Structure 1
Amino acid sequence: MADVELATAEWVDWFNNQRLHTAIGDIPPHEHETNHYAQLQPQPAAGVNA
């Protein structure tokens, strides 16, 4: 059973961090997510002077 868990963890790592995804510009999903959140700018809370 431990072999199955290890193989699954390795596949998940590959799927999220290494494979190139053509729909998002041939970059790994993790890189796309990182780029997405880096572009977001924090929004000031309502009623708070910046």
Structure 2
Amino acid sequence: MGPIPKEYTVNHDDLNKFNNDVKNLKIMTKSDNLKHAWRNGVYDKIKLPKEFQ
């Protein structure tokens, strides 16, 4: 393991920011992280730019 590249972020697969178990964390692009959140009801379509929907 090493540093997370600038264009990537850590995603909590179960959407629980407090569950930092390694099995629940995934490194992905910020775009994919937003898509994951939107698809799981964290954001409304209205709040998300069209390119992420």
Fold match, TM over 0.5?
Answer: no
Larger Cα Rg: Structure 1 or Structure 2?
1
Query: With structure 2 as the length reference, what TM-score do the two structures score?
Result: 0.29
Pick the structure with more helix per residue: 1
